[in-house]
Amino acid sequence: MQNHLKVALIQTTLVWENPIQNRINLRDKIDEIPEPVDLIVLPEMFTTGFSMNPESIAESMDGVTVKWMTHIAKEKDVAIVGSCIIQDNKKFYNRLLFVEPNGKISSYDKRHTFTLAGEDKVYESGNHRLIVTYKGWKICPLVCYDLRFPVFARNTEDYDTLIYVANWPKVRISAWDTLLKARAIENMSYCIGVNRVGLDFNNYEYSGHSAAYDVLGERLDDIPHGKEATAIITLDKAHISKYRGKLGFLNDKDGFTLK
């Protein structure tokens, strides 16, 4: 078990429905990370942007992007997480992939598909939550719209870190800022959100606001808004233990059954 986890947050533009170019661009950014890290976090649908046209751009679990992630994880000795469009059993998923250096792949299908954009009409909704144990850290990775639903993120497993990957538009960015901080405070966990920047094909603007918060809701990063940037943060087990032990808020959480 590691007492510290070093995480790189990559806030980037995405080329519309162009997996080849996005993989090239992201590889360059990964190569530019200035120091060794344990985990790299990419945005939601990092190969395509938030597309509702999966027929021509979806990949399989044996496809190029999964192999690309696996290769980078092994070469860099780092875990890498982000979501992309996957076709599985003739259905399309906005699937988050958590790929470890040893080749292990954990996946989570976005539960809360974004009805305002018709995502629910195109992609199948997931039916389970993922908790990854990596280097002794329990990590709960979720996707974009999931951020609005605190019950699904409730810390019933004593996870250490929440991660949200997103294509969250500028017009509602204040909600993103507020809810990321709230998820950290209410779950007494680190909370990391990585959002894209730039314009997409539909002329929606994304302003980033990628961020990381500690268990008290204090900001850990200095990522600029509206620009491509990579930030490296260090998570500390002692910080979690200190404040969970001192404050004990999770001991008083409500019990419930999720349906």
Q: Which of 100-114, 131-145, 219-233, 245-259 shows the lowest per-residue confidence on average (mean pLDDT)?
A: 245-259
Residue 259 annotated in active site: no
Q: What per-residue confidence (pLDDT) applies to 251?
A: 94
Residue 64 CA, distance from chain mean position? 20
Q: Name the active-site residue from 17, 59, 100, 144.
A: 144
Catalytically annotated residue among 17, 84, 100, 110: 110
Spatial CA neighbour of 99 closest among 38, 19, 170: 38
pLDDT band at residue 256, thresholds of 50, 70 and 90?
Answer: confident
Burial of 80 (0-12, 13-18, 19+ CB in 10 A): buried
75 catalytic per annotation: no
- % the chain with pLDDT above 90: 97
The confidence score (pLDDT) of residue 257 equals 82
Active site residue 84: no
Domains along the chain with CATH numbers:
4-252 (3.60.110.10)
Render pLDDT for 162-189 as a digit per residue (tens, 0 to 9): 999 999 999 999 999 999 999 999 999 9
**Would you say residue 259 has pLDDT above 80?**
no
Among candidate residues 44, 59, 100, 119, the one labeled active-site is 44
User: Half-sphere exposure of residue 140, counting CA atoms within 13 Å on the CB side?
Assistant: 23
